[in-house]
């Protein structure tokens, strides 16, 4: 079952893919696959996996501009919020 927060990240990646001329096809596909693996695990994702996805989004964002950059920024913000929410739930 897919997590709604991760679905929002996937949606932003899809929008970035639609704007892309092909340069980011492989990295965007890799990020989408990483999100799918998180969903398959069924439990809360490991923090280091979320950090890895976040870091890759930051790297890609730094290398792009325009609408793609905005979609990547929103995806990055969603991952960060998801990570912070997961941390808060773990502390309770």
The domains of the chain are located at 4-91
CA–CA gap between residue 35 and residue 37 (Å, rounded): 5
In angstroms, the first-to-last Cα distance of the chain is 24
CA–CA gap between residue 67 and residue 10 (Å, rounded): 16
SS3 (DSSP) at 63: coil
CA–CA gap between residue 10 and residue 8 (Å, rounded): 5
What is the model's pTM? 0.86
pLDDT in tens, 25-78: 999 999 999 998 887 766 666 788 889 999 999 999 999 999 999 999 999 999
């Amino acid at each position: 079952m897919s997590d709604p927060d991760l679905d929002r990240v996937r949606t932003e990646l899809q929008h970035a893919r639609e704007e892309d001329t092909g340069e980011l096809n492989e990295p965007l596909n890799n990020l989408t696959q990483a999100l799918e693996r998180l969903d398959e695990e069924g439990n809360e994702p490991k923090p280091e996996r979320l950090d890895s996805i976040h870091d890759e989004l930051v790297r890609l964002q730094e290398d792009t501009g325009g609408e793609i950059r905005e979609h990547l920024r929103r995806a990055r913000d969603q991952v960060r919020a998801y990570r912070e929410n997961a941390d808060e739930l773990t502390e309770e």
